[in-house]
A and B are shown apart, each in its own frame.
Chain A
């Protein structure tokens, strides 16, 4: 049972470099999400995709772009990394339209920007 798989698990970047965080789910979920987790801040939504072909901004979208490649995959791109983007990034998925359905999370990508 893979669930939600994120790659890479760890990454160190230099300021100004770009990279893409990958996420794939095998639960046939319609909705996918990207969060960042910072100490004392809980999790904050960056972008979400309610269904294949749609994406919407969350609470903290600046500096990020996303692509919903197909139903399974949802990637997060940092075009020009900044130290403020040092964080742990979590991808999640859930059934669409069901308010009481929980989200399933990956194990996270720990990103450091020097």
Chain B
């Protein structure tokens, strides 16, 4: 079945460091891919999305490119801030569009 695998955390960085969180997926057909962010005590918020191969999603300085050849959707940010500390979830929506399939989440902690 469809699945999402993300790098395990926690990821600990200093402010202004470069961030990469790896995400790979297994799915039939052409899923849509998403990154969600969860701040402490809150629900999930959509961070960015990509719907077809080579699409780049971007938002708030974060970027991710849909790579079908490597079945990957890695999240990157050039310079992280303390306020980026949160849990990040990679997810896919299958072609049936019934629901999202999530990775287990990666905790990011940024210190000043």
Contacts and interface: CB of A to CB of B under 8 A. Distances in A.
A92 B44 CA distance: 9
A41 B97 CA distance: 22
B56 to A, nearest CB: 14
B43 A99 contact: no
A52 to B, nearest CB: 16
Residue among B36, B45, B93 with the highest chain A CB neighbour number at 10 A: B93
Given A43-B89, A90-B44, A107-B42, A99 B97 contact: yes
B25 interface: no
Interface in A41-94: 41-45, 48, 50, 56, 58, 90, 92
The B interface is mostly helix, strand or loop, or mixed, namely loop
Given A43-B100, A99-B51, A107-B43, 13 more contacts: A42-B102, A58-B99, A90-B44, A92-B44, A96-B97, A99-B97, A100-B51, A102-B46, A102-B49, A103-B100, A105-B36, A106-B43, A108-B42
22 contacts: A33-B99, A40-B104, A42-B89, A42-B103, A42-B104, A43-B100, A44-B102, A90-B43, A92-B44, A96-B97, A97-B97, A98-B97, A99-B31, A99-B94, A99-B95, A100-B32, A103-B46, A105-B36, A105-B43, A107-B41, A107-B43, A108-B42
